[in-house]
Structure 1
Amino acid sequence: APNNAVVFLSRLVKEGVDPNHRHRLGWTALMVAAMNRQHSVVKVLLEAGADPNAGDHFNNVYDTSREKGIHSLEVLVSREDEFSHRLSSRAGFRGCTALHYATLADDPRTVRMLLEAGANPLQTNALGHTARSYAKEGEVGTVLQEWEGKGFIRMDMSEFQEKHEVAKFIGSPPGYVGHEEGGQLTKLLKACPNAVVLFDEVDKAHPDVLTIMLQLFDEGRLTDGKGKTIECKDAIFIMTSNVASDEIAQHGLQLREEAEEVSRRKLADNLDDVQKSDDIKISRQFKESVIRPILKAHFRRDEFLGRINEIVYFLPFCHSELLQLVSKELNFWAKKAKQRHDITLKWDRPVLDLLAGGYNMHYGARSIKHEVERRVVNQLAAAYEQELLPKGCTLRLSVQSGGREERSVPSLRLEVVGEDSSSRTLDIRPPLSPEH
């Protein structure tokens, strides 16, 4: 391979020589070709079935010398003459793939060839480094970064609700419009056969899509509209669904209330600890007697449900988790206020509790995001619009009691904090004030 003997290599391949055969010190011919920028050799080896994700068994000269029982000088000479003289004899290369070596060689053409052949840009060597860890600034780093993003595929299954839309999934058959374009899923899987694929809201897909997914889950391959087969046995498929979400939410709340009651009987000091979702387990009886019949009634395909390895249930958030979500959302806006307007935003625990009360279990974390925007961000925007915020000021969010009336609702108050720690409530005029 180092001598670019393409004709000789092609003959060996035709004679049945294994393209993944390893050198006595642990590397493969594809790694050598990638390190030495031998594009023609890389092409021949990949077409012959060379594995672009095979890892090097060679570590460094001295470790390999001890492992193989060979004199270190002999190992050094072999590594330099038969692999490359440009690599350090002391550096560790165990687990490096052809993609790692093409990156070390700073060869964008070979990097692209390997990626198109299914090389995994996220695969790490024994040191825990991906190929991009060794990339210099320039084209190779940019290519790897682009391909790393291809490792995750999201398919919105609400786009495939009608029978005629199924063609968009794998491509139109010959003679139909869009045949040459191919399918959305098949094109993405062809570019990255070992991707993580998310089928979002799979319950909205047409039944014909489920038939296609059966082949995908069962055989690990997919045939597109052109009749070409895409092998994707290393891909991971995840599906989300809102089927039975109300039943799961109600059951989760019931389980959490039961856990809290048990803790009260034991005189638990901190109920937050028992509220965590990790401590709440859905019973097997509930899964079999409630959830499975609902899934069967909706999908109407026992064989489809049988292909699912694991089902993960999402329960409503408990109070301690809601406080974390509110804190995360407030920190996001506080960072923006500081960066854009040099405004420091502060708050205390009662603010978190009040905003957490806006949680709606039917809308999930999205309801917390909307509550923060409605009660906090809108107030900030209104105060800024009315020129009530001094440049570089510190703002404090606090909870204001609604008064003595039984049904009075607490509101959020926005205060400007002075250098002497004194505070002044902002008088935001309606209708811009969201609390009125």
Structure 2
Amino acid sequence: MAQTNHPAPHSMGGKTELAKQVARYMHKDVKKGFIRMDMSEFQEKHEVAKFIGSPPGYVGHEEGGQLTKQLKQCPNAVVLFDEVDKAHPDVLTIMLQLFDEGRLTDGKGKTIECKDAIFIMTSNVASDEIAHHALQLRQEAQEQSRRRLAENLNDVQTSGKITISKQFKEDVIRPILKAQFRRDEFLGRINEIVYFLPFCHSELIQLVSKELNFWAKKAKQRHNITLQWDRPVLDLLAGGYNLHYGARSIKHEVERRVVNQLAAAYEQELLPKGCTLRLSVDGGAESKDQEGNGAGPSLRLDIVGADSSSRKLDIRPPLNPDEMAYFH
């Protein structure tokens, strides 16, 4: 099976994670059962040899190809071709044989049968068009829900799920893919195209919660510190979402605004062992940027006493935030 995922630009984490989960479902040994090929490494014609191995008499002949070597070990692996649009056309020719016949001939002329392998390709081609279309659809769905709510209809849709229209796939996406890959037979081998859409607000809240829970668990295990937060904190951090960087932008926002504060407080010895910390949104007058302009709401860190009283931590900003050690 070949499958292409189209994400918001550069949101590499989600696609790779999906492929890994498929491998985890299929194989007990994910290390062997998951093969990731970074296709940006195969942009030149001569780099095809790295893919399937050099022919006899050429340098590196004994080493074998990156893909063929791993497929020999696990012929039914989940193979991820990351950023497939960056690969040289000659590599696509090899992939055609792979998808069409379910086998691959390496540089030594040996055939590797891999009919049971699952091939997943990812690409950022048409990602801007997909993101724009998805945001439009989401807006329309929200307006429809508001109208139904105003008319007191019972079938109000609260789901944030939206479906990309068949017309959009045919009229917008297919021509872009054809222009990119220039081969109908290559696109014809793809069983399914999965579209990665920008996150809606409720999904962002889940992502922020997941990140905060990860760091709260670390704080508890490493330093016996309990970390608490309320809903406005989730909303504020979700505001750091960048369409072009996907889930990674949320991870970065939590590290920048929460973890760096925790690390600074820890290094300045402001955190007694076993204490409870509460994160909240502070929209007070002191929330200013370096030029003294109002920078909007900021995150505030309070230490909570046994009697539930709280005291704001006076954390000095680190001298160089980029060199700040994370709260590991």
TM-score by length of 1: 0.63
1:289 aligns with 2:171: yes
Measure the CA separation in 1 of the matches of 2:267 and 2:41.
40
The equivalent residue for 1:328 is 210
1:209 aligns with 2:80: no
Deviations 1:55-104 (A, max 9, x none): xxxxxxxxxxxxxxxxxxxxxxxxxxxxxxxxxxxxxxxxxxxxxxxxxx
Query: Shift of residue 338 of structure 1?
Result: 0.7
Measure the CA separation in 1 of the matches of 2:248 and 2:157.
24
1:418 aligns with 2:300: no
Query: Shift of residue 149 of structure 1?
Result: 2.9
Query: Shift of residue 274 of structure 1?
Result: 3.7
Higher Cα radius of gyration: 1
- SS of the aligned residue for 2:120 comes to strand
Measure the CA separation in 1 of the matches of 2:167 and 2:93.
29
Within a 5 Å distance, the mapping from 1:3-42 to structure 2 comes to none
Measure the CA separation in 1 of the matches of 2:205 and 2:310.
25
1:365 aligns with 2:247: yes
Measure the CA separation in 2 of the matches of 1:415 and 1:245.
41
Query: Shift of residue 275 of structure 1?
Result: 5.3
Structure with the larger strand share:
2
Deviations 1:210-230 (A, max 9, x none): 000000000000000000000
**Among 344, 350, 355, the residue aligned to 2:232:** 350
* Structure 2 stretches lacking a partner, 5+ long: 1-23, 322-328
Query: Shift of residue 166 of structure 1?
Result: 1.2
The equivalent residue for 2:13 is none
Query: Shift of residue 156 of structure 1?
Result: 1.0
Measure the CA separation in 2 of the matches of 1:306 and 1:386.
60
Deviations 1:166-219 (A, max 9, x none): 101000011101111110110111111111111111111111110000000000
1:337 aligns with 2:224: no
Measure the CA separation in 1 of the matches of 2:223 and 2:294.
37
1:395 aligns with 2:277: yes
Query: Shift of residue 148 of structure 1?
Result: 5.1
Within a 5 Å distance, the mapping from 1:182-221 to structure 2 comes to 182-221=64-103
* Structure 1 stretches lacking a partner, 5+ long: 1-120, 124-129, 131-144
Measure the CA separation in 2 of the matches of 1:408 and 1:273.
36
Query: Amino acid of the residue matched to residue 163 of structure 1?
Result: K
Query: Amino acid of the residue matched to residue 308 of structure 2?
Result: S
Q: Residues 166 and 209 of structure 1 are in contact (CA less than 8 Å); yes or no, is this contact kept in structure 2?
A: yes
Query: Shift of residue 432 of structure 1?
Result: 5.1
The two structures, once aligned, show a CA RMSD in angstroms of 2.3
Deviations 1:241-266 (A, max 9, x none): 11011110011001000000000011
Q: Residues 275 and 318 of structure 1 are in contact (CA less than 8 Å); yes or no, is this contact kept in structure 2?
A: no
Query: Amino acid of the residue matched to residue 145 of structure 2?
Result: S
Runs of 4+ in structure 1 deviating by more than 3 angstroms, as ranges, are 272-275, 402-408, 431-434
Measure the CA separation in 2 of the matches of 1:409 and 1:148.
45
Measure the CA separation in 2 of the matches of 1:186 and 1:433.
46
Moved more, 210-219 or 424-433: 424-433
The equivalent residue for 1:107 is none
- SS of the aligned residue for 2:59 comes to coil
- SS of the aligned residue for 2:149 comes to coil
The equivalent residue for 2:18 is none
Query: Shift of residue 122 of structure 1?
Result: 8.2
Measure the CA separation in 1 of the matches of 2:83 and 2:128.
15
Measure the CA separation in 2 of the matches of 1:376 and 1:431.
13
Measure the CA separation in 2 of the matches of 1:380 and 1:417.
15
Query: Shift of residue 430 of structure 1?
Result: 2.7
With CA pairs under 8 Å and 6+ residues apart, which has the higher RCO, 1 or 2? 2
Query: Amino acid of the residue matched to residue 234 of structure 2?
Result: L
- SS of the aligned residue for 1:391 comes to coil
Q: Residues 145 and 157 of structure 2 are in contact (CA less than 8 Å); yes or no, is this contact kept in structure 1?
A: no
Measure the CA separation in 1 of the matches of 2:57 and 2:268.
62
Query: Amino acid of the residue matched to residue 167 of structure 2?
Result: Q
The equivalent residue for 1:152 is 34
Q: Residues 260 and 275 of structure 1 are in contact (CA less than 8 Å); yes or no, is this contact kept in structure 2?
A: no
Q: Residues 279 and 302 of structure 2 are in contact (CA less than 8 Å); yes or no, is this contact kept in structure 1?
A: yes
Query: Shift of residue 407 of structure 1?
Result: 5.8
- SS of the aligned residue for 2:253 comes to helix
The equivalent residue for 1:250 is 132
Measure the CA separation in 2 of the matches of 1:166 and 1:372.
41
Q: Residues 153 and 188 of structure 1 are in contact (CA less than 8 Å); yes or no, is this contact kept in structure 2?
A: yes
TM-score by length of 2: 0.83
- SS of the aligned residue for 1:312 comes to strand
